[in-house]
Amino acid sequence: MTSPACGVMIFATDQSMQPVELAREVETRGLDSLFVPEHTHIPLDTHSPFFPDGKVPPPYLRTYDPFVVLGACAAVTERIRLGTGICLVSQRHPITLAKEVATVDRLSNGRFIFGIGAGWNKPEIENHGVEFEQRWKVVRERILAMKTIWSEDEPEFHGEYVDFAPMWSYPKPVQPGGPPIWIGANSKYVADRVAEYADGWIPVGGRAGGASVEQLREACAKRGRKAEDITLALFYPPLDEATVREQVAAGYSHLIFGLPSAPRDEVLPVLDQVAALARRLRD
């Protein structure tokens, strides 16, 4: 069995460990990646089944902008992959986002992973002018438009949600055609979305959903893609070696462990546990 890549994810905020310092610590411990999520804002009328008590956890209210964070982390690291976990594409303009992605990819010398999603927070999404029920259609078209921007010198795109005439947009990403796109979702619809326009799948471990690895393989076959070309990653696997080895045996090749959104003295002990587990998986 091939050893998996092992990384971490943190809600980087103004109250958590400084993310630039964390990036150095991740690289020093021989881990493979650092991911950060985003929320542009949290409306006061937010409701979610993810929070049974009805309260939104404080880190969701205070997240840094992920591209500023990852650009800073790129400057102090040389090896680890840096990713959005996830970027809410439904809340960003594709022309601006294409440049942000390309910039971080160049600053990191091609180490960026573009984790994406459509979002779960209805009022947050709709504050950006996107209808909640249309969010995945919007995400799909924005991704296709960005791929055009990254790969063509004079890109143009004409769709239902994105429309622009021929233009110039530089820099282009270091990674040809743009960085790998990993979709973060657990629903039954994600398999076909990954097979159509993405390069990887990053479900949240343990969260209910209709998606499966077998569905993804079937979707790839229908679209003429090789399932082995799709990266199977996993958010929030447990720090339990037996369970993790089962997940690796099922095909997951990049494990992204959760860190507490907390100060250094709370984060580093968990980071040490992740590093120790990663070493055992490599033995």
**pLDDT value of residue 71:** 98
* pLDDT tens profile 5-15: 999 999 999 99
Mean pLDDT across the stretch 177-185? Answer: 97
Domain of residue 54: give its range: 5-282
* pTM for this prediction: 0.97
Q: What percent of the chain lies above the pLDDT cut of 70?
A: 100
Structure token digits, residue 112: 């960026």
Cβ neighbours of residue 229 closer than 8 Å, sequence gap 6 or more: 199, 220
The number of domains in the chain is 1
pLDDT band at 208 (very low <50, low <70, confident <90, very high): confident
CB atoms within 10 A of CB 259: 22
Amino acid identity at 90: S
C-alpha torsion 223→194→26→247, nearest 10: -80
pLDDT tens string 100-157: 999 999 999 999 999 999 999 999 999 999 999 999 999 999 999 999 999 999 999 9
* Res 194 pLDDT > 70: yes
Render pLDDT for 18-71 as a digit per residue (tens, 0 to 9): 999 999 999 999 999 999 999 999 999 998 877 877 789 999 999 999 999 999
The whole-number pLDDT of residue 243 equals 96
| 1 has pLDDT over 90 | no
* CATH code assigned at 25: 3.20.20.30
